[in-house]
Amino acid sequence: MARCAPGHAVIDTGMGLERIGALLQGKHDNYDTDLMRSLIEASAHATSSDPDGPGKTSHRVIADHLRATSFLIADGVMPSNEGRGYVLRRIMRRAMRHAHMLGTADPVMFKLVPALVRQMGGAYPELGRAQALIEETLKLEETRFKQTLDRGLKLLDDELARLPEGGDLPGAAAFKLYDTYGFPLDLTQDALREQGRAVDVQGFDAAMAEQKAKARAAWSGTGEAKDATVWFELAEAHGATEFLGYDTETAEGVINALVRDGAEIGSAATGETVQVVVNQTPFYAESGGQVGDTGLIRTDTGMIEVTDTKKAAGVFIHVGRVAEGQVARGQPAKLEVSHGRRGRIRANHSATHLLHEALRRALGDHVAQKGSLNAPDRLRFDFSHSTALTAAELAQVEAEANAFIRQNSPVETRIMTPDDARAIGAQALFGEKYGDEVRVVSMGWLQGSGKGADRRTYSLELCGGTHVARTGDIGALVMLGDSASSAGVRRIEALTGQAALDHLRQQDARLSDVAATLKAPAAEIVDRVKALFDERRALQNEVASLRRELAMGGKASGPEARDINGVKFIAQVLSGVSGKDLPALIDEMKARLGSGAVLLIADTGAKPAVAAGVTADLTGSLSAVALVKAAAEALGGKGGGGRPDMAQAGGADIAKAEAAIKAAEAIIGG
């Protein structure tokens, strides 16, 4: 009860939206309201089951959890193994287990998202904006979880089989399922609850605590963690650092603090490493994938070479070394950002915006940024996508990004509220929290979209980084390739500007070297290399054929067959052939025999190889595997295997070749 005025009180009845909806619609159950019923029926349709039948509870869980997971993803939460991402994953997996209980063999949750957007997208437009990402995330997560679920349920059954009838699952066993096999405790409890069983939660917690204690003992902490307190104290004392770097690369300020080893110091002299805090700075602090600036801080008495810039608690931390003289707290200072380095970083950062939009247009709206690195020498861009890009897709993305670089359109920045930014279609980084105002960066014009106010922007993103003035300042974009970063996330690395041109020159120089070696024009290199490979393959085949002929003493001749217990048998030790040549020789000798068995031993100069063959008419009574195993054992080797008509093995001592032949003869002779 909360007092709102003298003599009055407000009572919280717990009457939320769904209860009010049920009351207005004359329903006695929240799940019977139109808000939930459409999702339940969509679940029933997708799983080909009765919405009010035996799976009624499962449909309700799926509908309820679908809403929760979709809103969380739309708000920037992504499934992970810690924090709110882990909460999301648990909710998703509970719904997915109920879909599994309804008999679904394939992922089904993502198919229900359109029904949710139709039902609630009007009131919550963020659902529509994030629909592609929600569907892609649910599909990837459910595909992976089905493997975990099938394996976990089998392991759970194995654990329960060891327990007395109706016995609770020990906490250590539940923790093993969780820690080793990724099967969450709540799913274990759900599965057992249906059998009238429970989990020893105290035992589970004890096992978890023991593991955490071991992890803490193995972790010694980091410098950043130890130093964190001082930055909060400086923020309280001096306020946040004002960033001037959007408009300038030089500025004047006052040194508010010098910090070393997590404590404030009064001054620092030549050669000493120090962290500098000023009241305002043009130095960009590492954030949003863009690396921190470097440069110089000068005072009347000394100079600091800044090697990195970071940020904590709103305080910009200039990490550097005193290169000349001495600097002291309270001194006025002139700050100069490394111009060339900042320019290269700007170009790479702006290029990632064009790359992001080109990827979305080539692959689909599910593409969302999952991480980036904008450094002076290269850029790296991680994005949500489940398969490797084809050569054609890479070429399309690179060509489109370069087309907008050549367009040389202005890069414009506007300050807006987050809602206004999203209203005009600005792409936000999911998971990022924004304040009352955001920077919206736009670049590129879509061809044929009109002029002036009718023109449509190509790339429109919320971004706090630094950018080029015009897209042409990027110079060029060269993609180095596509690789996997993590499950469902791809990574592209690329170069821009001079680095891109240097890379192309190096590639051209390599091509020229190859052309000179092949004595062919560059345009004919591919055909020339293909011809060389064909020639090499033909020569290899010819050499192999000559080896076989030499080993057999000529095509028309060869070793004589002996009769052993009614079976024609050829055995021979061959020089100048390898183990991989033996099967072809075996086939030729079997064809010559018509009916019989063959044993060949290759004297390779190292460990001998042995192979045996038996014609098809004899494999019912004689196996090549038995022959080769006996011969290999006599040669000092082990094992051997294959088919009844062809088998191979290795030996150790070629001097025992005669014994190996005798061993094979003994198998044939019975």
- Spell out where 329-476 has E strands: 332-337, 369-374, 379-384, 412-416, 438-445, 457-462
- Read off the pLDDT band of 13 (50, 70, 90): low
Q: Which of 116, 125, 148 is nearest to 46 (CA)?
A: 116
Position 336 scores a pLDDT of 96
* Mean pLDDT along residues 76-85: 70
Q: Which residues contact 641 (CB under 8 A, 6 or more apart)?
A: 625, 628, 647, 648, 649
What are the tens digits of pLDDT across the range 178-223?
A: 776 667 787 788 778 877 888 888 888 898 888 766 644 543 343 4
Beta-bridged to residue 439, according to DSSP, are 415
- Read off the pLDDT band of 252 (50, 70, 90): confident
**Residue-averaged pLDDT of the chain:** 84
pLDDT of 500 strictly over 80: yes
Positive or negative: CA dihedral 351, 352, 355, 357: negative
Mean pLDDT is lowest, of 161-170, 248-257, 486-495, for 161-170
Residue with tokens 């509870």: 57
Q: Which residues contact 637 (CB under 8 A, 6 or more apart)?
A: 607, 610, 649, 650, 651, 652
413: which DSSP letter? E
Let me know: does 155 contact 174? Beta carbons within 8 Å: no
CA distances from 260 to 224, 240, 269 (A): 12, 19, 12
* Mean pLDDT along residues 567-581: 85
Q: Which amino acid is at 609?
A: A
* Mean pLDDT along residues 426-439: 64
- The more confidently predicted of residues 45 and 28 is 45
Region of residue 497 (left: phi > 0; alpha: psi -120 to 50; beta: else): left
Position 174 scores a pLDDT of 85
CA 175/CA 205 separation, integer angstroms: 8
CA 70/CA 83 separation, integer angstroms: 17
- Read off the pLDDT band of 575 (50, 70, 90): confident
3-state helix, strand, coil in the chain (%, to 5): 45, 25, 30
Exposure letters 483-513 (e unless 16+ CB within 10 A, then b): eebeebbbbbebbbbebbeebeeeeeeeeee
pLDDT of 14 strictly over 70: no
**pTM assigned to the model:** 0.61
- The more confidently predicted of residues 190 and 81 is 190
Position 598 scores a pLDDT of 93
Position 588 scores a pLDDT of 85
CA 535/CA 525 separation, integer angstroms: 15
Which H or E run includes 509? helix 497-518
For residues 429, 432, 433, 434, the Cα torsion angle rounded to the nearest 10 degrees is -40
SS3 437: coil
Residue with tokens 């620092």: 268
* Mean pLDDT along residues 260-288: 93
Position 30 scores a pLDDT of 66
- Read off the pLDDT band of 435 (50, 70, 90): low
CA distances from 303 to 121, 251, 318, 326, 511 (A): 57, 15, 13, 7, 47
Q: Which of 316, 241, 290 is nearest to 429 (CA)?
A: 290
Percent above pLDDT 90 for the chain = 33
- Read off the pLDDT band of 524 (50, 70, 90): confident
CA distances from 508 to 102, 395, 504, 512, 524 (A): 59, 18, 6, 6, 14
- Spell out where 420-554 has E strands: 438-445, 457-462, 477-486, 489-496
Mean pLDDT is lowest, of 90-99, 176-185, 293-302, for 176-185
Position 83 scores a pLDDT of 65
Let me know: does 590 contact 618? Beta carbons within 8 Å: no
Region of residue 239 (left: phi > 0; alpha: psi -120 to 50; beta: else): left
Domains and CATH numbers, the chain: 17-162 (no CATH), 224-337 (2.40.30.130), 342-503 (3.30.980.10), 548-669 (3.10.310.40)
26: which DSSP letter? T
Let me know: does 444 contact 320? Beta carbons within 8 Å: no
pLDDT of 488 strictly over 90: no
CA 612/CA 651 separation, integer angstroms: 13
What are the tens digits of pLDDT across the range 150-160?
A: 777 777 888 88
- Spell out where 209-301 has E strands: 242-243, 250-260, 263-265, 267-269, 273-278, 280-281, 295-298
Mean pLDDT is lowest, of 62-66, 149-153, 158-162, 639-643, for 149-153
